Amino acid sequence: MDQETKVAATKMSIASLMALTSKMTLNEWVALATLIYVLMQAGLLVPKYWAIFKRFFTRNEQPCSKND
């Protein structure tokens, strides 16, 4: 076996070992990563947009003057 084949076999064995010990398929890992990403984005964007909407609606509640 040459060096390149040994390196490839080592990389595949590490991935196989992780797949066997975690009992999760690649599809499940991708779904979990996507869910975490969506929750993180919601946690960052919801407060930002809440503040923008709040500022927008409080600005529009002010009475109009004759100069407006």
Other beta carbons within 10 angstroms of residue 52's beta carbon come to 10
- Regions of the chain where pLDDT drops below 70: 19, 60-68
- Tell me the C-alpha distance between 59 and 10, whole Å: 62
At residue 64, the pLDDT reads 56
- Tell me the C-alpha distance between 23 and 26, whole Å: 10
- Cβ atoms of 26 and 34 within 8 Å: the answer is no
Tell me if the pTM is above 0.85: no
